[in-house]
Amino acid sequence: MITQEQIPMVIDHPLYDVEGEKVGEVKHVYLDDATGRPEWLCVKTGLFGMKETFVPVQSADVVADHVEVGYDKARIKNAPNVDVEAGGHLSAEEERELYRYYEISWEGAWEQANEPGEGGWAHSGGRRERERREWSGGDATAREDDMTARTGDATAREDDAMTRSEERLRAHTESQETGRARLRKYVVTEEEQITVPVSHEEVRLEREPITDANRAAAMDGPEITEAEHEVTLHEERPVVDTETVPVERVRMTKETVTGQETVSGQVRKERLEAEGDVDDPGRGR
């Protein structure tokens, strides 16, 4: 249950249901006019936060940076649509409708709000406001009739029933850093071999006999003389150089892998047992 001191921790914080699913964000906290205690949380829901719905503070707890309530998301979102009147008060009928929807005792909540000490559950809004106006200057006979009716109702409700409660295990997840990764580029030098075709020139002697076709050229010049002829030879040699070319692009991405883990915790449960000569039809179930 949320206290007055926790109100700043609640406003504009997310609200999760009993299954740990986010419902919306808490935008307003409605207080009991008489005790000043928080009584209703006004939560904005929907895709764009256009709808507001009421959740009882009785089932709400502040956990870390959010609020958890003991109702599921569907029930909260389907709560009666209440248009709060000017001044921020719920009418008696509106509040009765919310109490009926969340299965909270209207009269039982009023009685606890007026008990001394801490932890009383405050009854709120329109009814309490109306009663204070009547008691401060209204008709005395009407006040007496109202008190008599309320006392009679309380007497009729008295019984010997005992409520059994138990704790339920709830779990949620939080994000924690488990490691880091970075992409780094560095240079290495490797030895590579490639085969390159090369060519070179060689001298080869060609001899041809004297024929009528070349006789004139052979007889041209002196008859007996010394002479020489020089030929320049060439060859190809491999030359090695490098060029830079792109070969691929690499980037880092993240992906979410969903698995399941089993968690355990201890919960307390109340048990009832009868002593003496008691006929218990539910025993053994």
Q: Render pLDDT for 234-255 as a digit per residue (tens, 0 to 9).
A: 999 999 999 999 999 999 999 9
End-to-end Cα distance, the chain = 33
pLDDT digits (tens, 9 = 90+) for 178-203: 898 999 999 999 999 999 999 999 99
pLDDT attached to residue 280: 62
Q: What is the mean pLDDT of residues 220-246?
A: 89
Secondary structure (3-state) at 110 = helix
Cβ contact 102:50 at 8 Å: no
Domain residue spans of the chain = 4-156
Higher-pLDDT residue of 37 and 283 is 37
CA–CA distance, 178 with 255 (Å, rounded to integer): 14
Tell me the pLDDT tens digit for each residue of 79-99: 888 776 545 677 778 888 888
Instruction: Calculate the alpha carbon distances from 245 to 20, 55, 68, 193, 195 in Å.
Output: 54, 65, 59, 18, 20
More confident residue, 157 or 280: 280
Q: How is domain 4-156 classified at the architecture level of CATH? A: Alpha-Beta Complex (3.90)
* pTM score: 0.39
